[in-house]
Amino acid sequence: MNSELLLREHDLKVTPQRLGILSLMKIRGHVDVEELFSEMKKQFSSISLATLYKNVNAMLEKHLITEIKAPNFKAKYEIVKEPHIHLLCKECDEFVDLDLDLESLISDASKKSNYQLKESCVVLSGLCKKCQTK
């Protein structure tokens, strides 16, 4: 979906800065605040860090993006999509999405715990293919 519509559907005003943020997330998949800042400065030389924090928080509140956190890892942000998991390489810091069915995990967890589960944050870490042979 185009970013303008994405913003409108989440009750967020369309601004060039916000379009830039979303565009970057689409290209990169996930970004952290630091990356966001250094990349955005290329397009918006006078952008303020505060603007980024404010926008990231606004987008989180409206559920347009989600936050991914894990040990030894700077929080990253991505546009909301189907439930999936994340893989982190401890050697080269590669970080990728993996579309994997979480249904059985979630239903098992629900049965065992009686929790009604809505969201998941799954990060598995180890070595990517390249780093295994080094």
Using CB under 7 A, list all residues that contact DNA: 8, 12-18, 33-34, 44, 46-51, 53-55, 57-58, 75
**How many CB atoms sit inside 10 A of residue 21's CB?**
26
**Which CB, 19 or 29, lies closer to a second copy?**
29
Q: Can you tell me the distance from the alpha carbon of 25 to that of 79, in angstroms, rounded to the nearest whole number?
A: 7
Contact assessment for residue 84 and residue 123, using Cβ atoms and an 8 Å cutoff:
no
Q: Which region, judged by CB under 8 A, interacts with a second copy, from 12-20, 39-47, 51-59, 110-118? A: 110-118
**Which CB, 46 or 116, lies closer to a second copy?**
116
Decide if residue 116 touches a second copy (CB under 8 A). yes
The Cβ-side half-sphere exposure at 19, using a 13 Å CA radius, reads 11
Q: Can you tell me the distance from the alpha carbon of 55 to that of 65, in angstroms, rounded to the nearest whole number?
A: 10
Decide if residue 132 touches a second copy (CB under 8 A). yes
Contact assessment for residue 35 and residue 27, using Cβ atoms and an 8 Å cutoff:
no
**Which CB, 54 or 90, lies closer to DNA?**
54
**Which CB, 5 or 96, lies closer to a second copy?**
96
Q: For 29, which DSSP code?
A: S
Question: What does the binding site for a second copy look like in residue numbers (CB under 8 A)?
Answer: 60, 66-71, 73, 85, 87, 89-90, 96, 98, 100, 104-106, 108-109, 112-129, 132
